[in-house]
């Protein structure tokens, strides 16, 4: 019976990579805790399963994402890029229409998206554009999460993006989503600039921290933290949540520490979206090598937690409104 299980749409990712293999191998495990609906058509699924020599489970529920092409394992491909994008859009539409409770994404290949003339560099940009919201990319696991102030932009452009107004908005939205009262904010420059000796971006970061804390009426955000010690064992005892100024500043330490188990979560959106925190692994695709599936399973589990939290918040709101009507 699946009536009481959360429905989660799975965008299948790049079919030339390991995503479909992960979905097939993990189906039995995740179908015990949710009702997965895979955005892939039967013909493409059969092609993948035949190549992998993995039988398709009888209860493998599909949403038929249109498309047909030859799978070329480990290859950057315009057609595979287009199909992974279409699968993702189908998952978004299902969530937007409330036909599923959340979506979970398997890995895409950015070069394949580029070949398919898709203007976005990743899932988060699509979500940001689709919903007209400032989606926040947060990655991590139960031991540590990192929110990224900037994402897929060249390093030379990061400093120009660091300003009081935009960072303040980001910090406030980040807090409203994670609801943690102790968040470390990294500086941008070495030694967090050593009081302006090595740069002046930390002035903007400090002002944003101060302004966000004042708005929230709590001392939530601490920093700017010195980046090279922010993720030390002692610092991680003090903080579970961090805000990094750019992609590799936050993700290099995260993946060094928790690569196999970390996930990606999109915050500040009207839908719930989680994802694996790894790529397509073209080098091992369709070779039936041992693939680590912890990230995928953790992403599904986090989606279920977020679904439960959302339902609880909604029930509290209903109770509050009901109480207000009774006393008015």
Provide the pLDDT for residue 13: 98
* 166 class by beta-carbon count within 10 Å (0-12 exposed, 13-18 middle, 19+ buried): middle
Three-state DSSP class for 233? helix
How many Cα atoms occupy the beta-carbon half-sphere of 192 within 13 Å?
19
DSSP 188: S
The tens-digit pLDDT sequence of the chain (328 residues) is 445 899 999 999 999 999 999 999 999 999 999 999 999 999 999 999 999 999 999 999 999 999 999 999 999 999 999 999 999 999 999 999 999 999 999 999 999 999 999 999 999 999 999 999 999 999 999 999 999 999 989 999 999 999 999 999 999 999 999 999 999 999 999 888 777 767 789 999 999 999 999 999 999 999 999 999 999 999 999 999 999 999 999 999 999 999 889 999 999 999 999 999 999 999 999 998 889 999 999 999 999 999 998 877 766 666 767 767 777 7
Q: At what angle do helices 201-216 and 164-178 cross, to 10 degrees?
A: 40
CA angle 274, 105, 81 (to 5 degrees): 145
Q: Which domains does the chain have, with CATH numbers?
A: 1-133+269-328 (3.40.718.10), 136-268 (3.40.718.10)
How many Cα atoms occupy the beta-carbon half-sphere of 106 within 13 Å?
32
> Quick check: 156 and 166 in contact, CB under 8 A?
no
| Global pTM value | 0.89
Residue with tokens 């979506």: 103
Provide the pLDDT for residue 1: 43
Q: What phi and psi values does residue 223 have, to the nearest 5 degrees?
A: 145, -170
């Amino acid at each position: 019976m699946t009536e009481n299980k959360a429905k989660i749409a799975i965008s299948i990712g790049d079919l030339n990579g390991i995503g479909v293999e992960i979905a097939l191998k993990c189906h039995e495990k995740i179908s015990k805790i949710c009702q997965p609906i895979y955005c892939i058509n039967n013909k493409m699924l059969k092609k993948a399963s035949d190549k992998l020599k993995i039988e398709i489970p009888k209860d493998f529920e599909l949403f038929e994402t249109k498309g047909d092409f030859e799978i070329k394992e480990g290859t950057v491909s315009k057609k595979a890029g287009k199909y992974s994008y279409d699968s993702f859009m189908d998952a978004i539409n299902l969530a937007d229409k409330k036909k599923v409770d959340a979506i979970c994404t398997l890995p895409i290949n950015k070069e394949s998206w580029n070949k398919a003339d898709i203007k976005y560099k990743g899932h988060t940009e699509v979500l940001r554009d689709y919903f007209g919201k400032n989606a926040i990319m947060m990655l991590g696991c139960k031991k540590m999460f990192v929110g990224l102030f900037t994402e897929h932009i060249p390093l030379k452009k990061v400093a120009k993006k660091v300003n009081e107004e935009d960072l303040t908005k980001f910090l406030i939205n980040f807090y409203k989503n994670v609801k943690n009262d102790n968040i470390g904010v990294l500086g941008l420059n070495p030694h967090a600039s050593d009081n302006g000796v090595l740069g002046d971006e930390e002035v903007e970061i400090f002002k944003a921290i101060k302004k966000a804390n004042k708005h929230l009426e709590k001392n939530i955000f601490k920093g700017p933290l010195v980046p090279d010690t922010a993720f030390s064992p002692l610092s991680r005892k003090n903080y579970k949540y961090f805000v990094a100024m750019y992609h590799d500043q936050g993700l290099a330490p995260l993946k060094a520490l928790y690569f196999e188990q970390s996930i990606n979560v999109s915050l500040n959106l009207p839908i719930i979206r989680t994802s694996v925190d790894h790529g397509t692994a073209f080098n091992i695709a369709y070779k039936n090598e041992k693939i680590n599936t912890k990230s995928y399973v953790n992403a599904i589990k986090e989606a279920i937690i977020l679904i439960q939290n959302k339902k609880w918040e909604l029930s509290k709101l209903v109770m509050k409104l009901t109480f207000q009507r009774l006393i008015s």
